Chains A and B, each alone.
Chain A
């Protein structure tokens, strides 16, 4: 924009109109720029959307009746619970383990940081599917799990592997360990984004190292950790469907079992999809509020929540 531009439009107006407007500013009307292509585009999108929705409701092969029937069926709801449980354990476990891995990777100890590097390398390299099957079959490789002093016969705890690593155990192990590798990198990225001066200030105040990590650096790192972390959790919700290879009855496996029996493939897939959509939506809402919480202090004033905005709009029109 050139410095003289604010004055320019006035010069192009007819003199009579300008004189009138100067007398009565409220007589000015705003004429938005015309954009016919926007209208064409909008109309096109509207037609396509309408077509899709129309077909969804009129094509009988979607079988909405079947969808409704199975949507809240007990077996489906129980499977949904299992999916949520797996997600929760793998997400929490993954992020806790990931936090330690991230600290290890940034440690000045060469051994610790190489171990963390190696872990992340291995668990990002092996496909989750392969890992799940390996864990499930670990009983074949090691028949007994024992905790003791390596190289001696001393054991504090001993149990057959198959007792501990059942389907659920294998699923939890595989998902958590896999998730930890990705979480570690996300957390490390977040920590690196925190100004070095924060560590120094905390150190110069004599704040202990562990407290520095958990109370000074991590809360600030969370701001950049949260968006990719929720990405991970959301893809984990759907990622748990890989566990169907273990025949563990989470949502996707159960759906498959049902449609194998009833042959209603499409409506059953719809049931699963709708549930995944609902979970993702809820997670999106949680993400919004969690991010808002950790934005405290980082921005001068927090923007209003959608609810507050709605309330103020209702209040404003009254």
Chain B
């Protein structure tokens, strides 16, 4: 953990309980045509909480994450971050879709890290981390560059700022992607299987960065297949199946005594015996 973690915070606030990044998901429904993907999901993720989302393939984990920053709109329900909806504004009993500009502004408060990194291949590492700071937050280039360098140091890539993304290993690329997201000082960061595209020996370096972040008071929703990581780092484990949250609780409870049959079956299929608590 470095002292450059968050320029705006005073040392006092760093130790205090975080107040930003309260994610409330209420009864969210979403279908693609006939395919019903989310069927009434409700969650309450407190500021600074780390929630690991588990579940079988196709259960709607990615879709849920994407609705949180309005990459996907929802059919019914409500998602708020610190009381504000990402894509809409409520007036009376109607929801009005916000203007593009306002959606973009609110999105900078919610970072997203993708399975496939999605770095901008034509920009150097430094450019990748600077771009949105300048074009979305309106920071000066000098300010953005300084911030980018700080973050690159924090993810251990200060010597790679002039490389192009394709010249980096997968683990390094994902760490750049994390730095790029953190550069906007988001209150919430969404991770969609951040280590699934990585070779096993590169998984650790990325998880270390995320673990470090967890101790900084940023709210995190992490879709992951890394059970060890979920157990060690998450405050809450959320188990999804068929578009519903089936089970939710502290990792110790969910892993050792899952209440629901489907959770038990899923954990039984993915957990190595060594992970059983």
Chain A residues packing against B (C-beta within 8 Å)? 195, 197-198, 200-209, 211, 215-216, 219-220, 294, 296-300
Tell me which of B71, B112, B132 contacts A207 (CB under 8 A).
B132
Known: A297-B164, A297-B165, A300-B166. A206 touches B136 (CB 8 A): yes
Bitwise interface map of B from 89 to 123 toward A, beta carbon under 8 Å scored 1, else 0: 00000000000110011011011101010111111
Bound-complex Cα distance A201 to B121 (A)? 12
Q: Is B181 an interface residue (CB 8 A)?
A: yes
Known: A201-B120, A216-B120. A206 touches B131 (CB 8 A): no
Chain B residues packing against A (C-beta within 8 Å)? 69, 71, 100-101, 104-105, 107-108, 110-112, 114, 116, 118-124, 131-132, 135-137, 164-167, 180-181, 184
Tell me which of B71, B104, B166 contacts A298 (CB under 8 A).
B166
User: Can you name 9 extra interface pairs (CB under 8 A) apart from A201-B119, A201-B120, A294-B122?
Assistant: A197-B118, A204-B71, A205-B131, A205-B132, A206-B136, A219-B122, A297-B166, A298-B166, A300-B167
Bound-complex Cα distance A87 to B24 (A)? 58
Would A208 and B131 count as touching, CB distance under 8 A? Answer: no
Q: List 25 A-B contacts (CB under 8 A).
A: A198-B118, A198-B120, A200-B71, A201-B119, A203-B104, A204-B110, A204-B112, A205-B131, A205-B132, A205-B136, A206-B107, A206-B108, A206-B136, A206-B137, A206-B184, A207-B104, A208-B136, A215-B135, A216-B120, A220-B120, A220-B122, A296-B164, A298-B121, A298-B122, A300-B166
Would B180 and A205 count as touching, CB distance under 8 A? Answer: yes
Bound-complex Cα distance A219 to B131 (A)? 14
Task: Name the A residues within 8 Å of B167 (CB-CB).
Answer: 300
Would A206 and B104 count as touching, CB distance under 8 A? Answer: yes
Bound-complex Cα distance A199 to B127 (A)? 16
Would A204 and B166 count as touching, CB distance under 8 A? Answer: no
Would B131 and A215 count as touching, CB distance under 8 A? Answer: yes
Would B118 and A208 count as touching, CB distance under 8 A? Answer: no
Would B114 and A197 count as touching, CB distance under 8 A? Answer: yes
Task: Name the A residues within 8 Å of B110 (CB-CB).
Answer: 204
Bound-complex Cα distance A208 to B134 (A)? 11
